[in-house]
Amino acid sequence: MEASASLELAKHTLLVFGILLAVGTFSGLLARLARVPDVAVFLLIGMLLGPGMLGLVDIKTDSAVNQLILIFGSSYILFDGGASIRLKVLKEVWITIVVIATIGVLITAAITGAAAYYILGVPFIVALLLGATLASTDPATLVPVFKQIRIKDRVAQTVMSESAFNDAMGAIVTFAVLGVAMGAGEFSPGDAVMDLIKQSVFGIVIGGVLGYLAAFMISHERFGFLAEYAPVVTLMAVIGAYMSADGLHSSGFMAVFVFGIMLGNQESLGFRRVHHDETILEDFIMTTALIMRMFIFILLGSQVDFALMNKYLLGGVAVVTIFMLVARPATVFLCALPDRRARWSFKEMLFMCWTRETGVIPGALAGMLLGMKAPGAQIIASVTFIAILMTILIQATTTKWLARKLDLLVEQ
């Protein structure tokens, strides 16, 4: 009987995967025809297929299948983004990235929390917990957008790098506030800073070491014995980087991002890539990242709880509007303007103000708060759903238009 139940579950999961691939393929074509980022279309299609409407896709947020897709999918997309980063550009803007991914998260959380406190009338600690949950940006959304829309290198790579580095800070702030909210302790700035340094350093070291080893085994003239297995090496290394970092209680996402940077800058490490092998690897990464986008955002859309979202709709929309139009611009200008080395122009900073989509990472944090029955978890989850929908459907779809208006678009 148990074997039969397992078999039926496996068949059902396989059917859902088939539906996701089929619908995702046609959704991608639709997005291309409409000339909008495919993540926005995937999200809408997911809402249509979810239990709130057609009911064709119903994978629970706390299921092992969902967690597997989110962890591996986000990691692989982030690795793909890291491989697009050029060290030459990173050296120019690293100060802005560090400041906006750390202090910037605190600024965003504080302003959004204040808005929630006054608009929603929730206790201050709950409002601050909401602000912390929304404060980090989402690499799984931003990387695909910048892959499809060619923006000026240093702007695109700064935003992508920030999204990779700020997930650790967002999680630290969220759980520090949660500890206070649940009476588990008081917030210690010193402990938080040490935790952030530990997560960052371990993540960077693990990603750097595995990235160098992967480049060595793929591209070394004499010892590159895995050159023809390069796609498989990327899969192994992405999983290894994330799990190694996570096992050491550091940022798995940071590790896979740095791994991608190392593999994408092999020439800077002294390795030469054969053009044929490079093309095969790039095609594999592009296809795998596309499949992961389909799965992540169709599932994310299918899991939107309309009843919960509608419960706090008006107040939630007001909070998210301030989050988008006040908190993010304040964060960007306060963190990027003092960086005299980067010399950001007003147009570049204005563009960065608009591109900070919310998605998988804040959604996962909100889901964890619901599972832990944290104070105000329902209202936090409701506003997080609203933020995901508003930022992806409004900001992602207008990225190309804004870039063209600000003369930041690189015509292909």
pLDDT for residue 187 = 55
Which residues pair with residue 151 across a beta bridge?
Answer: 409
3-class SS letters over 168-228: HHHHHHHHHHHHHHCCCCCCCHHHHHHHHHHHHHHHHHHHHHHHHHHHHHHHCCCCCCCHH
Domain positions in the chain are: 60-405
| pLDDT surpassing 70 at residue 277 | no
- In the chain, the percentage of residues whose pLDDT exceeds 70 is 91
Q: Which of 131, 108, 33, 119 is nearest to 369 (CA)?
A: 131
Query: DSSP secondary structure string, 322-376?
Result: HIIIIIHHHHHHHHHTT-TTTT--HHHHHHHHH-----HHHHHHHHHHHHTT-TT
* Alpha carbons 334 and 339: distance in angstroms, whole number: 10
Taking only the tens place, the pLDDT of each residue in 217-267 is 877 666 666 767 778 888 888 888 888 888 887 778 778 888 888 887 877
pLDDT for residue 324 = 93
Does the domain formed by 60-405 have CATH 3.40.50.2000?
no
| pLDDT surpassing 80 at residue 131 | yes
The SS3 of residue 274 is: coil
Range picked from 69-73, 247-251, 384-388 for highest mean pLDDT: 384-388
pLDDT for residue 327 = 93
Residue with tokens 């996570």: 246
Range picked from 152-161, 187-196, 329-338, 366-375 for highest mean pLDDT: 329-338
pLDDT for residue 399 = 87
pTM, entire model:
0.77
The SS3 of residue 58 is: coil
CA torsion sign, 249 to 253 to 277 to 91? negative
Lowest model confidence (mean pLDDT) among 29-43, 86-100, 188-202: 188-202
